[in-house]
Structure formats: structure tokens, C-alpha cells
A and B are shown apart, each in its own frame.
Chain A
Amino acid sequence: MTVSPNPEGQSRLIEEIIDKGICVRCGACVGLCPYFHFFDGKVVVMDRCDADTWNCLQLCPRANPEGDILNESGGIGSYKTVTMARATDKEIRETSQYGGTVSSIIISGLQSDQIGSAVLTDRGGATSPEGRLARNRKDVLDCAGSRYSASGSLSILNGCIKDGEDRIAMVGVPCQMEALARMRELMPDGEERYGRVSLKIGLFCTWALDYRQLDAFLKKEGVKDPVNKFDIPPPPSEVFRVQTQGKWRDFPLSQIRPFVQKGCSFCQDMTAQEADLSVGTVEGIEGWNTVVLRTDKGAEIFNEAIEEGWLETQAFPEDNLEHLKEAAQNKRERGKKSIIKGVRGQAWE
């Protein structure tokens, strides 16, 4: 990934990213200082900072769009193998999103002590889902399943690095993986911080929703109980599914799309190419995950989970791989177009 440092501080982040509404709530800029909070689905400015050294703008995956265009790789980025996996544990399979691969790897890593803790995303309650530091199986299961709104969970990573936490696994969407790479290269103590993260699991992602808009919509539609599970089945289904008290309600995707975060339209990465391994659904095969193994570290911890009996695998169908690469490439093209339009037009909207 090409990363170029940015010379200005908080004001620019506020003016160019937050005020323009293109923040994707990754949380990279939160938890390092008192000036930003992630709260109820949003990254908000608490006060104006006047420090003349800064990190926030450097870390922001949205703040350097020209740099991103230079990104050399295509499709799903570089990888070792792509395979199909699912949990063997019944409870994990029932509570997780698809095959429970992510939860299984984390639980396996915690039990074999490969990792000490993991930054996951909780289910929310009075306020939006947000990052949470998980240390055991129960914590992991409490966080299983996908919330299709951004959780700013890098703020929790920042917080626990500050508290001295080590051997952390980070589970996040592609922009969060990108922010981690930026942290490593651009923060003065980037290598040291990066060293504390011993595993990066990326989730496939087409877009995420603005929590506050989604929440208001669901409330208006009479969805009052806490949502146990969301799902966006692969095309051509075109529905957004919401499960409360065991019952599913389907909304046409066209009703939900207006809540897609503006900043997601500039994103070129569907499969989290900066992660150690990336996990998504498998189109057409229910209950399984697509797993893209990218680094030695990723492959090692994945294989260990298989050896320990947490995961079972199957070969990934050739057609699916072609289709996945095509979908990922399409996202790149869309993102590039938006960036060029935005930057050349001097307007992000």
C-alpha cells in the first residue's frame, strides 16, 4: 500500500472528512486523544486541538484519496490461498454470521494463547454497536454476528495499546485494516504499536450503514426489540434482513441504501487486502465462509484452528473465485471513479 504523510492536523480532518460527512467511523483517530469520541455510531469532535504534532489526519483512511489511487494491486489483492471454512462447534455456528470462521479462529487463538485478547464489535444496546475487548469464549460469542453499521472499534484498539495490552487480534472491515497499515508507517511509534497487534482478521465489505439513520428507520418501522441478527444475503436477493426475538423481517435493499455511509463510496477494497486473512460469505453455499489467506501469520493461525478441531474446510469453487475477483475489481473501479470525481471537482459530496 502506498502511504503518504499529510502535513496538517485536526482542523483539516474536521473540515475535509468529518464536516463533509465522509468519515467511515473506523475509529483510527479516536482514543488517542480527548478530541474525538466514537459515540452512538458516529465519530464526533469533542473539542478543538491545537497541538502542532498530530496523528489523526495521518491515520484516516479517507484523508489521502490520491495516494489510494496509486494502489497497485487489483481484484482481491495479494494472497496465498482462498478456501472455504466453517466452525465445527454447534454454538459458534448458531450465534455467528455465516460459518463462524472468525469467531472460531479467535476462540482457538485465545485458548492456545497465540493471542491475548481480541478487539471485536458488540451488539449495541441503548446506543450503537461499538468495539469491545474480548478475552474469552463468552466475550467472543457475545460479539458474534455482523452489524452492518460501522463500530469505530479501532478506538478500542488505541485504548488498549495505551493501557499496555499486547498480542491483540483485530477484527475489522477493510478501511480499518487500511488504517492499521497507516498507523504502522506514519505514527512516530508506529512499529511499536503495530507490534502489539499479532493478528488482523479482515471482513469482506461492500459498504456499511450510518447507524443513526438506520436506527431511526427501524424505530419508525416499529422494530422496537433489540436486533439479534442482521443479514444481507448475496445477490440477487436484494433484501436487508433483521431478526428480533427469533423472527426475521425483510426490507427491500432500496429502502436501506440511502443510509450507506457517504465515505464508503470512495473505498476501493472489498476484501481487506491489508489483513493477515480475510473472511466473507460464500455466494450460493449457505453456512460457509470464504477465507483469503494472505500472510504467513494468517495461514499459521488458521491452520492451527483446523488442527485443534475448531474449523473444517472445503475447496473453494473455481467459479466463485472468478466471481469474487470480479466483484472486488468492480468495487475498485467504483471507488476510483468517485475519488477522481471528488478530488477533481474539489468536492467530496
Chain B
Amino acid sequence: MGIISHRSGEIDVLLQGNEAIARGALEAGVLFCAGYPGNPSSEIIETLIEASKELPIYVEWSVNEKVALEAATAASFSGCRALVSMKQNGVNVISDFLIHLTLSGIKGGLVLVTCDDPSGVSSINEEDARAFAPLAEIPLLEPSTPQEALDMTRWAFELSEQIGNVVMVRSLTRISHTRTNVKINDLPDFETTPRFDTNAPFHTFPVVEKHKKRQKKLDQAMEMFETSSFNRYKGPTEPELLIIGSGCARSYATEAVEILGLRERVGILHLGTTWPLPKDLATRHLRASERVLFAEDVDPFIENSVKALAADLGNELGTKEFFGKASGHIPSTGETSPALLLEVLGEIFHISWKNSFYREKIAALIGDATPPREFGFCPGCPHRGSYYAIKTALAWDDRDGFVSGDIGCYTLGIFPTGFSQVKSVHAMGSGLGLASGFGKLEKFGFDQPVVTVCGDSTFFHSGFPALVNAKFNDSDILLLILDNSATAMTGFQPHPGTGTNAIGDRVEPIDIEAVCRSLGVDVISADPYDTEETARIIYDLIKRTGPRVLVLRRKCALVQGREGGFPYKMRVDQERCKGEECGCGRYCTRIFRCPGLIWDEPVQKAKVDEVICVGCGICATVCPHSAIIREEK
């Protein structure tokens, strides 16, 4: 039995933040869990999938986040506890349903977990999903450690049921992916039988009444927050500086206060329940200090609500000095760090500290073990072949064509690894919508060819409606579906096209080509490893009109590596290689850029890095002098 499904608790176990969230949900007796993969949130559902093998719960990867919330809500409406998890962008996707759902309210505890990714370490954007809590008028909890992540998630279900509305839990990359000792508790019996009470329907009418009710629920939550043990104060009764913080930034502030020896002068109000702001608690602390620093990641969320409160109580509290995002002390972009908090506190208290403190600490631990690396496709990656073919076709066409990109590994097409063909990337599925618009500009004189690319998972997530739109409006859209049989970027979760679902059941795979054909859209397929032939097909498709789909199909190199590997052993015939000379100009290492090909400095020729090269063989067709030789393994 896995530790996550361990029935009796009261023990310390080593857990990752996301596992702690999953355990918290299990300890609350969650019955229905759904989500859409996306770093840094994916391990929550993955952990619950493991648990579902031993516990009577249901877990699914849904087709997108909105459907995940809708599906989970069904369980809640039927009186069961349910959890949905996603990364920050996913909250945008659910927002439409969420804002309606929170008007109707819910029944069984329904917890929405968002894992925000400040700095966009593995994201296409930087976003503070907390903004949706005030918008949807729902309570928000912010753990700052894996232990809190567990405890808060468990309690969030209770809170949700007490007020009859969704509760949001916001984690961060550094919490979700931190591993530490966490105390777990007993698991309950999981004995609920779902039943929908037809006498108590869920809808948003009468709208204004429901809106009032939603705000009452918030007031109720605020009252509970006033005394919540998730909010703690540490420091002198009348500190020279009050830090109000949440999440990682709060932990960094604590560390900085210690290092700078400010424990006697600075107080830290650790807020775990950040929306609605517990006003009495905050007021008490504001009275005690003239200066306030806000420590939080991304938006000035706590900062703004505290400032609003201070304005309301202006007569009583007088003017305070605030340090935070508005004052420029804490940047409102990029993630916070211990070094940042050290710097800010050092500045406020005029203490100089050694700027290289953390850098030296890191260097002592890992040395120079991490070489600098640019974003790049893996060796053998079919996307390299796909973009090479696209690049070739667009160059042949010679009308300054470009790619309208989407979200997946293939987003890297904006970088040299994808020959910088992608000129636009936004939300999931948006590349198709944009292309459907570009495809209607011809009559105004637009003659640049636009190719849009989309992975199979993204197609099912939200690309499909845009393709329907293109068909409906007869747009000249050329969609390349990059089918690598995996949701590779987020860790190979199954999707509707793979033939298995989250819990490993065999299900009938949904055939994208058949879906497109059923829309009356022409579909053909090609092999991204055969770049020349694929380029010809793309060139030909560019010249046609109406919606067209080309499926470029090859397994993700990592999957292929696991399933038998690649056929070739590669080498460079250095006699034939022309290197820097006219006629080559380091074409393979400078333009094609597979990491398997490297520059042999002493002889000034290319060579194959045998450790990195997987032997896909694409590069053999790319060398202008046939110097890259492939031999059957």
C-alpha cells in the first residue's frame, strides 16, 4: 500500500507539496477528483490516480479544466466532496463556469486548487490566479509549506460545505515541488452515496438575490478566518516593521529576518486565509506598527486589501508607511526569493549584507554541474523535423509566411530549435482561432501563408471549436496536428486520443483524423522525419483554400526511446564535412541544431555526440554534402 493511501495517520512522512495536497483531500474524504495536466500542478491528480487503485475514489484527467470543474461539480451537487486542480492558466479556462457556479452555490465540499508558477518557469505566462477569488467572491487559502498545503486542503472541504460555496487553494511552484516531512492524519471511511436533491436545484436565479447570498457566504468565511489557526503572528508587540506575507515570500521574509538579526524589531503576520481579508485581525496588527512590508508573489493582492482597509480606517489608524509592490520594493513580476527579501529588509533597516550569500551557498552545493542550456527539442524529437519541413515550405513559398503557435512542447518553435517559425503563442487552442481569423484576411490583400500547429492534447482541449469555426466560416486555415501520441510536456498523461484514461482503463481512442473528416475538413498525414516530402505536402497545401488538416505523426522521442529506441548509429564523415567553408557554413550545428551534433573544435568539423544522439537519422538528409552517415544499428 502506497503511503498516500495509508489509512491510519499521526505519522511523519516525506511528501512533495502536491502529494500533501492530494493527501489532504483524501483525509477530507474526497470522492471525485478531476484536472488537466500542467506544471506545477500535475502531480496532484497523478498522486490521486495512484490512490484510486486502493481507495474507493474516482479520478480523471478531463479534456480541459472547465470540463474538469463541471464534472467535479456534479459530485458536489450530489452531496459528495470533490477536488479540481490545475495551473494558473487553467483558472482562466474555468472562470466562466466558476463565476456562475459560485452564484448557485454547491453542496458537497468543492475545492479548487491552483498551482501558480511565478516567473513562468514552466509556463507560457505569469499570472496571479488569486485575482479570481474576489471576482468569483469565494474564499482563498494560501499554504506556505507542504504541511500547510495538506492541512489547508483538508479544512477547505469543511469550509466549503459550511458556507455552501467553492473554496480556492493557491499553491506555488516552490511549494508544490518541495519535498519535506509532513504529518499525516487518519483517512475517513469514504462512505457517501451521491444523490441529487431535485427539490434543491442549482442555478443563478434570481440573480441579484443569489449575488447577495454569495457575498453573505464570504462574510461568513471572513468571520471564521478571524480566528483561524492558519494566521499566525510572530514578533514583538510593537514592531518597528510589520511584515504581512503569504506563501513562499512569507517564508523568505522569515529567513531574511533571522539572517539580518531583526527578530526583536520586526514582526511577521503570516496570513494563510488571504481572501476575504480577516479585517479585525489585520486592524489589530496595523495599530501596532507604523510601517508595513508586504511579502507575496506576483500581484499586490494582500497589499491592496490591507491598504483599502487602512484607508477605511484612516481616521483611527493615521498614516502608515507601506513597502511593497506599489512602492517598488517588491517587484510585481517574477518570483520572490530569500535574496530579494534580504535586500529589501537590508535597505529599510540600513543593514548591508553580502549580496553573494546565496550564490556562494549554491556554488558550494552543486559547483558548476549545471551547464548553461538554451531551450531545445530533445534529440530525435519529431517536432524538429516538423518545423524543419514547415520552414522549408514557407521559404519555398517566399511570401513571408509564419506559424501561429499553440501550447505544448512545440511552443519552443519560437526559438532557434524550431527555426523560429512560430510568431504567435497565447492560450491553449488560440493558435487555431487566430489562424481562422488570418484565413479571412485575403480579400483585404493579405497574402502571407499562415500555418497553425497544435498537439493532439491541445486539439481536444480547446482547438476543436476553432476548427469548427474555420469550417463554418470557410476560412483558409492550414492546421498541422503534431501527433506524438503523448502529452509530453507535462509528463505523458493520457488524453482522448491515447486509448487509455487516467486510471488506466482501455477506452476507445478518439481519432483526430476521423473527427476532422466528420467536419468535412480534408485530412492527410505525413511523416515529420521525412522532411523533404513533408515540406512538399505543406507547400502544396498552402496553395489550396478552405480548412485543411495535415497530421504529422511520429512518437515523442522519449516514448520511442522507451519502446525499442531508434534504428540508426550516426557518424560524421569528416573527410566530406565542409565545416566553416563556403558550401556549408556549419549548417548542421548552426541551423539544424540537434543537440546530437556538435562542433569538433580541434579539427573544425562536425561530429556526432554519441551520448546525446538517439539515432533518429533526420540529420543525414539535412547535410548538404552527405557527410552525416546513418548505419543500421
Contacts and interface: CB of A to CB of B under 8 A. Distances in A.
Interface of A: 32-35, 37, 39-40, 42, 44-47, 49-56, 126, 162
A60 to B, nearest CB: 14
25 contacts: A32-B583, A33-B583, A33-B585, A33-B624, A34-B587, A34-B591, A34-B624, A37-B392, A37-B396, A39-B396, A39-B539, A40-B396, A40-B539, A42-B396, A44-B398, A45-B395, A46-B392, A46-B395, A50-B590, A51-B580, A51-B582, A52-B580, A53-B581, A55-B583, A56-B582
A44 B582 contact: no
Interface in B579-603: 580-585, 587, 590-591
Interface string B397-437: 01000000000000000000000000000000000000000
Contacts of B581: 51, 53
Contacts of B584: 33-34, 51
A39 to B, nearest CB: 4
A50 B581 CA distance: 10
B12 interface: no
Contact of A33 (B395, B396, B582): B582
B96 interface: no
B522 interface: no
A53 B580 CA distance: 9
A32 to B, nearest CB: 5
B54 interface: no
Give the one of A34, A35, A53 with max B CB within 10 A: A34
Q: Considering the complex of A and B, which 8 residue pairs feature the smallest CB-CB distances, nearest first?
A: A51-B585, A39-B396, A34-B624, A49-B585, A53-B582, A33-B583, A44-B398, A54-B582
Nearest to B580: A51
Nearest to B396: A39
A181 B384 CA distance: 40
Interface of B: 391-392, 395-396, 398, 539-540, 580-585, 587, 590-591, 622, 624-625
Give the one of A39, A40, A50, A126 with max B CB within 10 A: A39
A145 B398 CA distance: 28
Contacts of B540: 126
B361 to A, nearest CB: 41
B591 A55 contact: no
B398 A47 contact: no
Contacts of A46: 391-392, 395
A55 B587 CA distance: 16
Given A32-B583, A35-B585, 11 more contacts: A32-B582, A34-B624, A39-B396, A39-B539, A42-B396, A44-B395, A47-B395, A51-B581, A51-B582, A54-B582, A55-B582
A55 B398 CA distance: 23
Give the one of B580, B582, B624 with max A CB within 10 A: B582
A212 to B, nearest CB: 9
Nearest to B398: A44
A226 to B, nearest CB: 16
Contacts of A56: 582
Q: Is the interface of A mostly helix, strand, loop or mixed?
A: loop
B318 to A, nearest CB: 64
Nearest to A36: B395
A47 B591 contact: yes
A188 B22 CA distance: 70
Nearest to A34: B624
A42 B392 contact: no
Nearest to A49: B585
Contacts of A51: 580-585
A56 B624 CA distance: 15
Contacts of A35: 585
A252 B269 CA distance: 87
Nearest to A212: B398
B419 to A, nearest CB: 8
B197 to A, nearest CB: 66
A53 B590 CA distance: 16
B509 to A, nearest CB: 34
A132 B591 CA distance: 28
Nearest to A9: B582
A44 B583 contact: no
A50 B395 CA distance: 18
Nearest to A126: B540
Nearest to A33: B583
Contacts of A54: 582
A174 to B, nearest CB: 25
A162 B398 CA distance: 27
A41 B587 CA distance: 25
B577 to A, nearest CB: 13
A104 to B, nearest CB: 35
A126 B396 CA distance: 14
A40 to B, nearest CB: 6
Contacts of B580: 51-52
A281 B584 CA distance: 41
A215 to B, nearest CB: 10
A53 B584 CA distance: 10
Contacts of A39: 396, 539
Contacts of B585: 33, 35, 49-51
A271 to B, nearest CB: 32
A46 B391 CA distance: 8
Contacts of B398: 42, 44
A54 B584 CA distance: 10
B107 to A, nearest CB: 61
B418 to A, nearest CB: 14
A15 B191 CA distance: 75
Nearest to A163: B626
A32 B580 CA distance: 14
